[in-house]
Chain A
Amino acid sequence: MLKRELKSEINKLWEKFWSNGISNPLTAIEQMSYLLFLKRMDVEDTKKLNATKYNYKLNYISLFKGHENCRWSKWSTMEGKEMFEHIDTVIFPFLKELGKSNSLYEIYMKDATFAIPNASLLVEAVSIINNIIDDSLCIGNTNYEVKGDIYEYLLSELNTAGKNGQFRTPRHIIKMITEIVDPQIGETICDPTCGTAGFLVSAYKYILLQNSSKDNIKYDEEGNPFDYIGDKLSENELMTLKTKMLYGSEFDQTMVRIALMNLIIHGIESPNIFRKNSLVDRNDYNENNIKYDVILANPPFKGTFDKKELSNRFTINTTKTELLFLELIYNLLKDGGRCAVIVPDGVLFGSSRAHKKIREILLNECGLEAVISMPSGVFKPYTGVSTAILYFIKGESTKKVWFYDMTDDGYTLDDKRNFIDGNGDMTDIVKSFRERYNQEENDRKSKHFFVPFEEIKKNNYDLSILKYKEIEYQISNFDKPEIILKRIKDLDNEIKKNFEELNVLMKK
Chain B
Amino acid sequence: MVTIFKNSPGEWGIKKLGEIAKIQTGKLDVNAENINGKYPFFTCSKEIHKINTWGYDCECVIVAGNADLNIKYYNGKFNAYQRTYIIEIVNKRIVETKYLYYFLSAYVNILRKKSTGGVIKYIRLVDLTDIDLPIPPLNIQRQIVKVLENIEIGINLREKAILETENLIKSVFLDTFGNPLDNPKDWDIKEIKKTCLKISNIIPNKSLSDEYINYIDISSIDNKSKKIVNVKKIKGEDAPIRARQKVLKDDILVAIVRPNLNSVALVSKEYNNMVVSTGFCVLRPNKDIINEKYLFEISKSDYFISNLVSKCKGANYPAVNKPDVLGLEIPVPPLDFQNKFAEIVQKLEEIKEKQIKSKEEMNELFDCCLYNTFMSELVK
Contact = CB atoms under 8 A, between A and B. Distances in A.
B371 A475 contact: yes
A492 interface: yes
A378 to B, nearest CB: 10
A81 to B, nearest CB: 41
Contacts of B118: 344-345, 376, 383-387
A478 B358 contact: no
A498 B113 contact: no
A481 B365 contact: yes
B378 interface: yes
Contacts of B367: 476, 478
A494 interface: yes
A473 B110 contact: yes
Contact of B119 (A376, A475, A485, A494): A376
B198 interface: no
Nearest to A464: B116
Interface string A370-408: 000000100000011111000000000000000000000
A85 B85 CA distance: 67
A149 to B, nearest CB: 29
A59 B124 CA distance: 69
Interface stretch (A228-236, A319-327, A499-507): A499-507
A296 B358 CA distance: 59
A267 to B, nearest CB: 38
B364 A478 contact: yes
Interface string B96-123: 0000000000000110011011110000
Interface in A484-502: 484-485, 487-488, 491-492, 494-495, 498-499, 501-502
Contacts of A345: 116-118
A300 to B, nearest CB: 16
Contacts of B302: none
Q: B-side binding surface: helix, strand, loop or mixed?
A: helix
Contacts of A478: 364, 367-368, 371-372
Nearest to A479: B368
Contacts of B362: 488
Interface in B140-184: 154, 172
A432 B352 CA distance: 55
Interface in A145-187: none
A487 B347 contact: no
A479 B172 CA distance: 39
B354 A491 contact: yes
Contacts of A494: 354
B360 to A, nearest CB: 10
Interface string B268-304: 0000000000000000000000000000000000000
Nearest to B120: A384
B110 A471 contact: yes
Interface in A453-477: 464, 466, 471, 473, 475-476
Interface in B362-377: 362, 364-365, 367-369, 371-372, 375
Contacts of B117: 345, 376, 386
Taking residues whose C-beta sits less than 8 angstroms from the other chain, chain A's interface range is 35 or more
B25 interface: no
B375 A475 contact: yes
Contact of B114 (A471, A492, A505): A471
B29 interface: no
A74 interface: no
Interface string B72-112: 00000000000000000000000000000000000001100
Contacts of A480: 2, 368
Contacts of B315: none
A495 B354 CA distance: 7
B361 A498 contact: no
A484 B114 contact: no
A384 B119 contact: yes
A479 B365 CA distance: 9
A479 to B, nearest CB: 7
A501 B347 contact: yes
A492 B364 CA distance: 16
B329 to A, nearest CB: 29
Interface of B: 2, 5, 109-110, 113-114, 116-119, 124, 154, 172, 340, 343-344, 347-348, 350-351, 354-355, 357-358, 361-362, 364-365, 367-369, 371-372, 375, 378-379
Given A478-B368, A487-B361, A502-B347, 19 more contacts: A344-B118, A349-B124, A387-B118, A466-B114, A471-B113, A473-B109, A473-B378, A475-B371, A481-B5, A481-B365, A484-B368, A488-B365, A491-B357, A491-B358, A491-B361, A495-B354, A498-B347, A505-B343, A505-B347
Interface of A: 344-345, 349, 376, 383-387, 464, 466, 471, 473, 475-476, 478-482, 484-485, 487-488, 491-492, 494-495, 498-499, 501-502, 505-506, 508
12 contacts: A383-B118, A386-B116, A387-B118, A464-B116, A466-B116, A473-B110, A478-B372, A479-B368, A488-B358, A488-B361, A502-B351, A505-B347
Nearest 9 pairs of A and B residues by beta carbon: A478-B368, A386-B118, A385-B118, A376-B118, A491-B358, A384-B119, A484-B365, A498-B351, A488-B361
